[in-house]
Structures are given as structure tokens and as C-alpha cells.
Structure 1
């Protein structure tokens, strides 16, 4: 079993974050895939960050985190936003109040 830090782009900070959600091996991350693994990070309370998601997605492909083409970046952003939206639901009522006072997400 290989440590998460053996995967390209993933270092000690990502290892610590993944350990918080019970993922400790590179094999577990590979089996889950980038989207499911990142969703677990967010659900464990890790703050979503697009670059970290890119590093994970590209790392699981054996590529540098700065490697995606413009079209791939658009797709990665779409996937990241969908994961983030699914994992960070705002309780009903709060969102309407935030919109009313001008600090909502819209």
C-alpha cells in the first residue's frame, strides 16, 4: 500500500487532509477517483479549493497540476463547482436572507 504522498502533486498537507476523512493510501484515492475523493474532503470539513482539486485530478492521471488545457480547465471547474455545491448546501432560509441583504451567492 502506497502513501498518498507518493502520487504526483500530493504532499503532506493533502495526506493530512485525506486522513481526516479516513483515506490513507494512494490505492484508495485511485479507486475512488478525483471527484468522489474530493467530495469526501469537503464533507470532512476541509475548505474547498480549486487548485487542490486540480492537483488531485491531474495527479491521479500522473500529470502536473498545471498541465490541463484550457478546455480541460473549464471541465475541471464545472466538476469542482458541482462537487462543492453538492457538499456545501446552505440551510433553507439562510440563503434567502443573505440574498436579501446583498451577501448571497447570486
Structure 2
């Protein structure tokens, strides 16, 4: 099957749902790992831009190497926290690494004042691929200091 690949940060089922009834030269969608899919397409020009726009909120790339895992894949995060992060522009784990746990927490806190420090603990531990309950009192205190609390 000829075409080009578009790597996206949603499951294959979610990608198919987003693409339903749109055409855009999409030939096939299949899984590329946890919460990631690859779309085989023949779209060019405006159609390719439209295809990319469909996935702007979760992240996409023309190469597999160019796509960081979605924020949903970070350890300790549930769907609500992941959505809060996407809402402030943190779509991938690479985005979170660039901002840091405290920076991302501050962005979310401005939009979601009800979020607790547990989100900060989850982000900091998740970046180290640890359970948030493993953070020591000293690590939590250091995060509070960085936060200015």
C-alpha cells in the first residue's frame, strides 16, 4: 500500500473516530504502541494540513522518532489530570520535561484552582518513572520551595 505516514498520540481506535467520514486520503490506521497510532494516507497540501489539524491537540509527527509519548503515558496520571495538562499545552512527556514538574503544575493551577499538590507529586515522580507515593518528605519540601510555598 503506497502513501505517507502520520504518527499521532492517540490510540488507533481514537484516531479512527477522529477521522470518521473525513476522507482526506486516509487508507489505514493501526496501533503504534500505547496511546499512539500511525495513519497511512495520501494527503497533500491543504488535505495534509487538515489531517494534521485533527491531531493538533494530542501531538503528531511525520516520523516515528519525532513523536514523544503522549502525556497520558506518564506514570501516576489519570484521565482528568492528563486533560488538564493538554488544556495548558502540555501534550507530551517531552513538553513536561521542558517545563518541569513545577512549571507545568503552576500552569494547571491557574486554570484549575481545585488541583492539589498530589498533581505536583505525580508529575515529579512520573518524570523519574516512580510512584508518587515514593517521594520522600525532603523531595516534597524541595518541590514546595521551588513552588514558593
Give TM class, smaller chain.
0.5 to 0.7
How far apart in 1 are the matches of 2:79 and 2:146? 24
How many residue pairs align between the two structures?
82
Name which one, 1 or 2, has greater alpha-carbon Rg: 2
> Which portions of structure 1, spanning 4 or more consecutive aligned residues, are displaced by more than 4 angstroms?
none
Aligned-residue CA RMSD in angstroms? 1.8
- Distance of 2:140 and 2:82 partners within structure 1: 24
Task: Using the TM superposition, give the Cα deviation of residue 3 of structure 1 relative to its aligned residue in structure 2, in angstroms.
Answer: 1.2
Greater helix percent: which structure?
A: 1
Give the TM-score taking structure 1 as reference length: 0.66
Pick from 57, 61, 66 the counterpart of residue 124 of structure 2. Answer: 57
TM-score (norm 2): 0.49
What is the CA distance between 1:46 and its match in structure 2? Answer: 4.2
Alignment partner, residue 100 of structure 1: none
In the alignment, structure 2 segments of 5+ residues that lack a partner are 1-66
Unaligned 5+ segments in structure 1 are 86-106
Inter-CA distance 21–46: structure 2 relative to 1 (3 Å threshold): farther
Matched, 1:77 2:140: no
Q: Which has the higher contact order (CA 8 A, sep 6+)?
A: 1
2:82 aligned with 1:15: yes
Please identify which structure carries the higher strand content: 2
Q: Which residue of 2 aligns with 1:35?
A: 102
Partner of 1:92: none
